[in-house]
Structure 1
Amino acid sequence: MYLPLVRGKQFELVALRELANVIPENLFKPIIEPVRENYTPLIKTIQILNEKGIQPIVIINPTLGNFIKLEGFIDDALYALDKEINFIPCIKFKDYSNEINLKFESIPGPKAIYIYDKIDPLSTALLNQADYSIVPADAPTGAFKIH
């Protein structure tokens, strides 16, 4: 399985759309962190991936680019532009909070967690509930169960 972690920049989104024509859908699940407030290219990419049977993972609380100061989630804004897009919402966090937990529990269907710093007992509980767990390469082994 190929799970590239990409920023939602123009050329990276174009590359994902092109890869969707080459890699079989059962071997390709991109992880996208949006960086621009203009969602049109991201929506177009998700639509094309969906047409190829690919359900990407999208970080719904990005922390890069235009979202460096964002406090909240963008999934409602994405669905407002296209109710038919199909992606797995991913919550990215550094420190566990009640807001993160409440949002995680409110997501129906498959969901992902991306922890980009330390793993503690509270974040481990979320990792164990997620369908997809994305952790840093230097995470301690045995800190969570693998799905």
Structure 2
Amino acid sequence: MSANPQLVREMLNRDLHAAQRLQALLSEERELLQTRNHEALAALISEKNEHLALLEGHAKERAALLQALQVDDNAVSWQEFLASDDALRELIPLWQQLQSEVSQCNELNNLNGKLVARSQQTLKRLLDLVRGKTQSAGLYDSSGSATNSASSNTLTRA
């Protein structure tokens, strides 16, 4: 099981660069979400999607390399693949750094997703208030069953 070490190094460096750029974009996205700068956010999301597509393409290339070598395509297999050849062994720290960067991207993306969900929830509540819908109190009746005591007041009646 052997591959051109220079090719593998280039693949990993290219992926590392793309993951670091994606991480920067995700951090910037978080700031834009927090400040609700939707105009700048649209352009940033476009660039973020380009980097995601780039990383996906790179992952397919790595998968094809392992498939050509008849090795499973997963993180453990990559680690074993790199460790199996003296010329590739020196690339293990680069692979580990890539894994770390991708993990950080995932964490940032999850945080941004929570910000988006929170913003959507706030917007829904505001729209419900404008439409005159109020949250039900979630009271219990004498039998202990939950009842919804939804009152509907439009903004003009409030």
TM-score range, shorter chain: under 0.3
Structure showing the higher helix proportion among its residues: 2
Return the structure number with greater relative CO, CA threshold 8 A, min gap 6. Answer: 2
